[in-house]
Amino acid sequence: MTADCRLYLITPPVLPADFEQTLAGALDAGDVAALQLRLKDVPEAELSRTIDRLRPIAQSRDVAFLLNDNPVLAVKSGCDGAHVGQTDMPAKQARKILGDLTLGVTCHNSRHLAMEAGEAGADYVAFGAFFPTTTKEPPEMADIATLRTWAETMEIPCVAIGGINAHNCAPLVRAGAEFLAVSGAVWNHEAGAAAGVQAMLRAIQDAT
């Protein structure tokens, strides 16, 4: 169960000027399953331009490019899918818009929300935050038991998210998370983003 755990990157809240180069280096550093573009309060025209800049970098490396919150723009701009939260578009509506593209749904610490998401057609569910995070303020902290029970009983893949880094991820890997969603652990790594990816991959490997 733990052998298949993969890395899922979320972009920084604010993209630095040289982010294309940083992103390419990070994705070339090791196996990354997906990249979620998560930019809040950005005009759609600017978001579209950012997608056009970053999407080819991910897709040319077989990394799924997912857009946060906006399934309509995800389809229009050639993304591989979208991720929606509980206060964004309902999963059922997002599923209809996305068609065969990937749909992920935030489920906090609730197996009930995750089951509803699965029934609505989610391709994966995300539990978290498991640890304190500066990226966003979670409505509640998640329990590893929620993740473990889901992984043991359900077929829909689960993503662990929230404050995850190379030093604290082992229990999540062992609990059965198919993906670890990380942001700061990679982009803020003292030796650079590529080193951050490698550190996470080593930690995942060590946990198995």
Q: Of 25, 115, 106, 29, nearest to 66 (Cα)?
A: 106
CATH number, residue 151: 3.20.20.70
- What is the distance between the alpha carbons of residues 154 and 158, in angstroms, rounded to a whole number? 9
Residues with Cβ within 8 Å of 197's Cβ and at least 6 positions away in sequence, in order, are: 7, 9, 26, 27, 29, 30, 32, 186
The number of CA neighbours under 13 Å toward the Cβ of 92 is 5
For residue 1, pLDDT over 50 is answered with: no
Q: Assess if residue 189 is contained within a domain.
A: yes
Q: Assess if residue 33 is contained within a domain.
A: yes
pLDDT (mean) for 98-127: 98
Residue 185: strand, helix, or coil = helix
pLDDT tens for 95-112 read: 999 999 999 999 999 999
pTM of whole model > 0.75?
A: yes
For residue 147, pLDDT over 70 is answered with: yes
Q: Count how many domains the chain has.
A: 1
For residue 3, pLDDT over 80 is answered with: no
For residue 16, pLDDT over 80 is answered with: yes
Q: What percent of the chain has pLDDT over 70?
A: 96
- What is the distance between the alpha carbons of residues 186 and 111, in angstroms, rounded to a whole number? 28
For residue 136, pLDDT over 90 is answered with: no
pLDDT at 4: 85
Amino acid at 198: Q
Question: Would strands 6-10 and 34-37 be described as parallel, antiparallel, or unpaired?
Answer: parallel
pLDDT tens for 57-69 read: 999 999 999 999 9
Domain span holding position 58: 6-207
pLDDT at 149: 97
Q: Of 123, 112, 106, nearest to 149 (Cα)?
A: 112
Q: Assess if residue 65 is contained within a domain.
A: yes
Spacing of C-alpha 159 from chain mean position = 7
pLDDT (mean) for 153-166: 97
For residue 89, pLDDT over 80 is answered with: yes
Q: Assess if residue 1 is contained within a domain.
A: no
Residue 96: how many CB atoms within 10 A of its CB? 14
Q: Assess if residue 95 is contained within a domain.
A: yes
pLDDT (mean) for 132-141: 75
Q: Assess if residue 12 is contained within a domain.
A: yes
Read off the pLDDT band of 131 (50, 70, 90). very high
Q: What are phi and psi of 156, to 5 degrees?
A: -70, 125
What's the mean per-residue pLDDT of the chain? Answer: 95
pLDDT at 138: 67
Q: What are phi and psi of 82, to 5 degrees?
A: -145, 160
Alpha helix locations (H) across the chain?
19-27, 44-59, 71-76, 91-98, 111-119, 144-153, 170-175, 184-187, 193-207
User: 84: left (phi > 0), else alpha (psi -120 to 50), else beta?
Assistant: beta
Residues with Cβ within 8 Å of 18's Cβ and at least 6 positions away in sequence, in order, are: none
pLDDT at 91: 97
Q: What are phi and psi of 132, to 5 degrees?
A: -55, 140
